[in-house]
Structure 1
């Protein structure tokens, strides 16, 4: 294996002292502009990069940020939302030359333990925090550690954290407006994990809007799942086999919506003639399923870019702030139609 180039190698190649190399590469005075340029050119030719461990020991920034996902591992491989989100995050960080340290944790306790370890080992300069909880220990922990952070999905972050978020409540209103205009009055929301803040906002919005429209709470309701296709299918089967099944189902992700469509087909329930389906967060799955699924569309990669850009701004000394991402918009397709008269 080739040896990593050192400051001594650069000094020998450039014909200067090691202290001159240190001054030049760390932006300190003590060398002329011409010498500084020559040293940096030699460093680039040799493929030299700063030693992040040494920089951490000296108290400097290590030049990396972290992201932890505390989700069931079996739900991540098939859900396109996080793939698109991480793609946008990586795009913004790559443009800034900042690496991303990414890890999946078993649960929230494991995630918090990772933050403590990263802070103690000075592995990252800051973190992106996804999936805000209704009772979330992470903001207090990160504040106590002094680890800069941006939460993704929290409209009211705990000071001094920054946040980027999308309005899930208004998105749910769009869905209900569409279904109510078609004549649906029995609507079930196949929700995600109930302790996630954005899930709670969707559930609350559904309940508030149903009450405002005079719809019965036993016929417009939410059922929680873990976001997986298996639980989405099981929830779909339960509600469709009930004495008064819904005429419309709203799913919290694309994977559950496609699984639900398969369950309906297996039960002999045609979509949309007897059952309308709506998916949260559009994807290729929604567009290739037959019939194509009505879905909420947003720029998820752009959401990730916004989060990463905000974290970079915080690390550059910017003030904490809250930034709202593009509002999701409903795109009606062939999976929604008026309910049959008998229903």
Structure 2
């Protein structure tokens, strides 16, 4: 015979209180003496009783879920090294709070806006994590209009009412360029990320400014889309220049690894003929040949910090501050060396 699950009435009977008191205690509402709260929690633990998320949401008008809307081509996203680790960090926080992550992968434009509106209007989430910030990002105003709590991944370039979780890409990019300059490179090119993204632009600006401080300009800046195909196409264009670069800095590891393959297919030896550096320190970067010089961020910690900050906002804490994470760090491997003479 299957044992029936304990109910809130069973917890109330065990603790010798009303069902209403059990609800107050388990949802953190004020009005009960601490001794009573402790007695109710002990009774719930003894019985192995936990409220369902549906029951909790009805009692406190919460969904007990956070949202993440990713606007990327699914083909690109499927091999992205950032988001799986980031989501794992988010989930590590949510799992301890009995929360869920509602993930949507959408295209831009009307579909993206509709996704946020559904999350707000259906009450499916208590707040959202805003990733891949864009210049003059319209989602900031949209979330304000919808009254949906949020945190942003890095700071937007305009006004925002939401706290930001900041992992500064620029020091890592500066370190890559300085590393190449110290090796003796003067013909350095860049394969950038999408120019609509704030973080992609920040990496490109950091590269240009570091070269300028050394009295140099990039050989060229090729627009990329964070995909392997985009990395190959951009690399082929750079290698076809009358004076090709001796070093290429890519905005992510996927484009860099694809670019390394394109350079080898063109008959070049990395790093003897061409130095290559990436960004992300994805798992494969250490295992390609030669190992990829790159910049190590910590997307798992990024996800933990984003979920914790958003939960503070959702819980009604006022003035939640921005969270500053340690900046990305240079990792030197064998794909960079002095330029050919």
> Could you say which TM-score interval applies, normalised by the shorter chain?
0.7 to 0.9
Distance in 2 of aligned mates of 1:256 and 1:124: 34
Q: Residue 155 of structure 1: CA displacement?
A: 6.0
User: Who is 2:228 aligned against?
Assistant: 229
Matched ranges for 1:42-61 at <5 A: 44-45=48-49, 48-51=51-54, 55=57, 60-61=61-62
Distance in 2 of aligned mates of 1:48 and 1:125: 18
Report how many aligned residue pairs link the two structures.
330
Considering only aligned residues, what root-mean-square deviation do their CA atoms show, in Å? Answer: 2.7
Q: Secondary structure at the match of 1:51?
A: helix
Q: For residues 13 and 271 of structure 1, do their structure 2 counterparts lie closer, same or farther at Cα, with a shift above 3 Å needed? A: closer
User: Who is 2:335 aligned against?
Assistant: 335
User: Who is 2:290 aligned against?
Assistant: 291
310-319 vs 26-35, greater mean Cα deviation: 26-35
8 A Cα contact 2:135 2:156, kept in partner = no
For the pair 1:301 / 2:303, whether they are aligned, the reply is no
Q: For residues 323 and 38 of structure 1, do their structure 2 counterparts lie closer, same or farther at Cα, with a shift above 3 Å needed? A: closer
Distance in 1 of aligned mates of 2:145 and 2:117: 10
8 A Cα contact 1:225 1:231, kept in partner = yes
**Superimposed CA distance per residue, residues 97-144 of structure 1 (whole angstroms, 9 cap, x where no aligned partner):** 321111111125322221211111111111111000012101111112
User: Who is 2:44 aligned against?
Assistant: 40
Structure 1 unaligned runs (5+)?
none
Structure 2 unaligned runs (5+)?
none
Q: Secondary structure at the match of 2:18?
A: helix
User: Who is 2:202 aligned against?
Assistant: 201
Q: Residue 216 of structure 1: CA displacement?
A: 3.4
8 A Cα contact 1:228 1:255, kept in partner = yes
8 A Cα contact 2:11 2:44, kept in partner = no
Q: Residue 55 of structure 1: CA displacement?
A: 3.1
User: Who is 1:279 aligned against?
Assistant: 278
User: Who is 1:20 aligned against?
Assistant: 18
8 A Cα contact 1:155 1:322, kept in partner = no
8 A Cα contact 1:148 1:314, kept in partner = yes
8 A Cα contact 1:171 1:328, kept in partner = yes
TM-score (norm 2): 0.87
TM-score (norm 1): 0.87
